[in-house]
Amino acid sequence: VNENDMTLLRDWNGQNVNGWFWSEKLRGCRGYWQAAEKTWWSRGGHEIKIPDFWLPQMPDFDLDCEIYAGRCRKETVAMVAVRHGKFTTAVAPVVIDVPNARGNWLERMAAGRKELSRNKLIQFAKGGVIRCYAEMNHIACNIIFDGGEGVVMRNPAIQIYEKGRTENALRLKA
């Protein structure tokens, strides 16, 4: 697994995203759980050595995640964990997509949440539907003001997990 196997975002350049789905753009390290291999992969295609306490909590289906240590905590906390195996309980996988689930992004995320509802480790990115430009601007400003990186917007018409860079997944960062 490498970046060509993951959805990669393009910059938002004023496109109309009314009706699109939004989620917070998390500042951490991208990670892909490949269930068949029981292995975590970085965006660059390197195996991530996860802590022993993560493995029993990992599902039997793939997850596209951000390995994340929270807002206002520089991504270096997550990078140190990923690159040097220095995981603490403050570092956790946050699901940003469920690649093999069916449906649009909200439906894939709902399927993952249902399957992992009792999981204590895995978290899910929060999100919703953008009703208008002003709402998207308000969401992005609130996230950035509170120490987040920005917002991701996904086209609701897309019914599959897209691999590679796509016009159907956009980012707006600080």
With 70 as the cut, is the pLDDT of residue 73 above it?
no
Evaluate whether 70 touches 26 at the Cβ level (below 8 Å): no
Kindly report the pTM of this predicted structure.
0.95
Share of the chain above pLDDT 90, in %: 87
Between residues 84 and 161, the one the model is more confident about: 161
Per-residue b or e along 92-111, where b marks 16 or more CB atoms closer than 10 Å to that residue's CB? bbbbbbbbebeebbeebbeb
Distance CA 81, CA 67 (A): 9
Identify the residue whose tokens are 């969401």. 139
Largest Cα–Cα distance in the chain?
Answer: 45
Element (H, E) at 80: helix 76-84
- Report which of 105, 93, 81, 82 is spatially closest to residue 9, judged by C-alpha positions: 105
Over residues 110-143, the pLDDT tens digits come to 999 999 999 999 999 999 999 999 999 999 999 9
